[in-house]
Amino acid sequence: MIVREFFASFCVVFGLLFSHFTAAAPDLLLAKELPAQVVVKDYLISEKYDGVRAYWDGKALWFRGGGQIHAPQWFVDGLPPEALDGELWLAYGGFERGVGIVRQSTPVDADWRQIKYMVFELPNATGDFASRAAKIAQIVQAAQQPYLRAVKQYRLQTREQVQRDLDAVVRAGGEGLMLHLASAPYQTGRVDVLYKLKPTSDAEAVVIGYINGTGKYTGMMGALRVRADDGREFSIGTGFSDETRRAPPAIGTVVTYKFRGLTKNGLPRFASYWRVRVDAK
């Protein structure tokens, strides 16, 4: 009886503590793949940085999935009171190392000194995106923090110019481009105002099962069974390291995969595993 009462009390206390340190996922704007019919001159274009999505609510930094990011106090103290949306970015080719820095429960100052907060949106701000982009530049300039950066936004006139810039960004080690409708008010969700353009497409899916490996992969995972946002289920069988095949992502994990267009049935063609979505929490 005493043990049962102690356990019940423990659960109540733990629940209170857990609720204090977690929060619901922030409602953010998400990008779609760039369609062919977009009128390029109506959009502001920026580089897509391969970092960890981070939402600043004026007091704390949060992952896209809702878990708190434990940044050093000096990093937090230097951020403005306005809500911000952006990427915590290390460097070209530095995604994995950047993830390791940002996900530390006890932040290391020397590591965080290398991180830049690349801001591209003002959540819930009024006005169109062009005016919000100008406001971001003003906020960043006023903050005068070397790690706080406004993502450069600019205009182009043709799809050929966009492709030229995409090629240049990729050659430099970048991930791709973003196109944000200049006249758009602030919105959330995956809506038709923000597009991404990369050499290959990528998307997310939830792991729902495994297919056992054969041949040299006997005793390992051969493929992941996943479910996309639209409910379609399919398998991803390539892109894994042997380490990942021995310890695959748990069921329920959100993973990112790359693909090249869609089949006639609407499934991703040549789906290849990329990585676990690190900003899930």
Q: Which residues are catalytic?
A: 48
Residues 6+ apart with CB under 8 A from 252: 206, 207
By CB atoms closer than 10 A (0-12, 13-18, 19+), residue 219 is exposed
| Euclidean distance between CA atoms 64 and 182, whole angstroms | 24
